[in-house]
């Protein structure tokens, strides 16, 4: 048996993976660690990706505003809910759209929320089991990606060989899901066979709540963030101090304003989906601030190549403490100097990135970074990022899957022997 780079031994049976994902597989303007990992795991495993559970409210909104980002045809029965996607790496995944859910996150009552999620869970279970039967798959490895409420509703009901929780954010600090998410996560952490997190901060907060906890940190897609293309026409000319990522509540807007004012001769460019419109509008009042919004994923490398320094200007709080930012390796892959606030454990990047303790230090580090940009340091940054690819992260993930599977099988064999 070939291992396709994932170090699966010849005596291990390759099992299908069912990923119950919270992130959308497609139709987004940001890179998802879940999508990246599943794309890599598809090189060596059959993968079914159970897409983001759209609600009846999403359907209503899409019809009203003609939102093409929501797959209306699949959700309304005009197109098959199970489809195949050919990946850019030449492999494929199966993509399943669940039937529309009843919206529940807005509810304050835990009782009503749980009742609705139980109803949603039954619909999801029926759809997934039907799909597994169609595909002829049995005893899959089920990976729940940051949707513990649905995970609790489905646990033990998909004939799974192993149940894994993939956690890439601090759910209790996320305002859009924290009300019920944290409560369900505590329950789910006890149910799963193992938990895999994306940062040291998350490992610290989850390890005592679950059976087995491991870390697989975020990586970089070198096919996007290493090649150099044409400079996008909507970028300003001149020195660019840039940020790539969501413009949301994680950003320290006072710090960004101070950066723009201090480096008034340069352009401060923010590239990504705008989630905090009020803060973005206020910051954009400064003449040298350019908030460009989201751009297609495949074009992001072209924008970053025009940056002179990449910023990670996060506030320090419970939400950011669990982050291993994707953008660090994306900046480094193009040889950019990186300046970050000390919002989380960034010890992995000591010596390769500038990490500041306060606003004054951050602004000072930008100046140093702009001057320390020579062929040697550029090569060092690129080499560092090259060690942190998603292909490598998928190998780490796969090792954890099969290490745990061996333990489960040994326990099952022991119980059979005792019974006999």
Query: Coil, strand, or helix at residue 289?
Result: strand
Q: Is the pLDDT reported for residue 327 higher than 80?
A: yes
Over residues 188-215, the pLDDT tens digits come to: 999 999 999 999 999 999 999 999 999 9
User: In DSSP terms, which residues pair with 338 in a beta bridge?
Assistant: 310
Residue 181: strand, helix, or coil: helix
Query: pLDDT tens, 270-302?
Result: 999 999 999 999 999 999 999 999 999 999 999
Q: Are residues 201 and 253 in the same domain?
A: no
**Total domains, the chain:** 2
State whether 94 and 200 are in the same domain: yes
Least confident stretch, 31-40, 105-114, 176-185:
176-185
In eight-state DSSP terms, residue 231 is P
The arithmetic mean of pLDDT across residues 160-183, rounded, is 91
CB hemisphere CA count around 346 (13 angstroms) = 27
**Range 4-35 burial, b when 16+ CB lie within 10 A, else e:** bebebeeeeebbbbbbbbbbbbeeebbbbbbb
One domain, residues 378 and 395: no
Q: What is the CATH number of the domain that holds 349?
A: 3.40.50.2000
- Give φ, ψ of 56 to 5 degrees: -60, -30
Q: Can you spell out the DSSP letters for 158-170? A: S--SEEEEEE-S-
What is residue 80's three-state secondary structure? Answer: coil
For CA atoms 171, 174, 177, 180, the dihedral sign is positive
Residue 6 lies in a domain: no
Separation CA 314–CA 49 (nearest Å): 31
Q: Give yes or no: residues 348 and 410 share one domain.
A: no
Q: Is the pLDDT of residue 412 over 70?
A: no
Q: Among candidates 44, 37, 42, which has minimal Cα distance to 4?
A: 44
pLDDT in tens, 343-355: 999 999 999 999 9
- Per DSSP, the three-state class of 125 is helix
Range of the domain at 234: 222-386
Structural domain contains residue 63: yes
CA dihedral (109, 114, 119, 125) in degrees, to 10, reads 150
Do 27 and 176 belong to one domain? yes
The alpha carbon of residue 258 and the mean position of all alpha carbons in its chain are separated, in whole angstroms, by: 30
Residues with Cβ within 8 Å of 171's Cβ and at least 6 positions away in sequence, in order, are: 146, 148, 177, 178, 181, 182, 185
Average pLDDT, the chain: 92
Residue 140 Cα distances to 15, 129, 133, 160, angstroms: 6, 11, 12, 5
Both 190 and 103 in a single domain? yes
d(CA 95, CA 81): 8
Q: Are residues 303 and 214 in the same domain?
A: no
298: helix, strand or coil:
helix
Shared domain for 214 and 226, answered yes or no, is no
Cβ distance 199 to 125 under 8 Å? no
């Amino acid at each position: 048996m070939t291992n396709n780079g994932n170090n699966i031994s010849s005596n291990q049976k390759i099992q299908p993976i069912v990923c119950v994902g919270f992130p959308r597989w497609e139709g987004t303007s940001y890179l998802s660690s879940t999508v990246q990992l599943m794309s890599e795991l598809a090189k060596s495993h059959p993968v079914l990706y159970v897409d983001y559970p759209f609600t009846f409210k999403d359907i209503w909104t899409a019809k009203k505003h003609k939102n093409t980002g929501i797959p209306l045809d699949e959700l309304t029965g005009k197109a098959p809910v199970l489809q195949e996607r050919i990946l850019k790496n030449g492999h494929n995944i199966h993509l399943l759209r669940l039937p529309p859910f009843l919206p529940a996150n807005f509810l304050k009552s835990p009782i009503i929320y749980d009742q609705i999620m139980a109803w949603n869970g039954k619909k999801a279970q029926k759809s997934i089991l039907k799909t597994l039967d169609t595909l002829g798959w049995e005893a899959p490895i089920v990976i729940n990606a940051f949707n513990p409420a649905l995970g609790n509703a489905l646990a033990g009901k998909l004939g799974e060989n192993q149940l894994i929780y993939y956690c890439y954010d601090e759910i209790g600090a996320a305002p859009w899901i924290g009300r019920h998410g944290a409560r369900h996560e505590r329950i789910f952490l006890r149910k799963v066979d193992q938990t895999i997190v994306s940062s040291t901060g998350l490992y610290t907060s989850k390890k005592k709540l679950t059976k087995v906890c491991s870390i697989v940190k975020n990586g970089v897609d070198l096919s996007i963030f290493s090649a150099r293309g044409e400079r996008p026409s909507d970028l300003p000319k001149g020195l660019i101090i840039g940020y790539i990522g969501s413009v949301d509540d994680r950003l320290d807007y006072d710090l960004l304003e101070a950066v723009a004012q201090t480096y008034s001769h340069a352009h401060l460019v923010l590239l990504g989906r705008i989630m905090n419109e009020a803060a973005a509008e206020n910051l954009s009042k400064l003449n040298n601030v350019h908030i460009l919004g989201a751009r297609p994923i495949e074009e992001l490398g072209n924008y970053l190549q025009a940056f002179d320094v990449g910023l990670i200007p996060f506030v320090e709080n419970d939400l950011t403490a669990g982050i291993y930012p994707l953008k660090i390796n994306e900046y480094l892959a193009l040889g950019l100097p990186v300046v970050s606030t000390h919002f989380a454990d960034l010890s992995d990047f000591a010596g390769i990135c500038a990490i500041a303790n306060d606003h004054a230090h951050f602004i000072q580090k930008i100046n140093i970074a702009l001057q320390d940009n020579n062929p040697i340091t550029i090569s060092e940054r690129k080499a560092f990022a090259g060690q942190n690819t998603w292909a490598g992260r998928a190998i780490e993930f796969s090792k954890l899957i099969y290490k745990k599977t061996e333990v489960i099988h040994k326990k099952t064999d022991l119980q059979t022997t005792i019974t006999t």
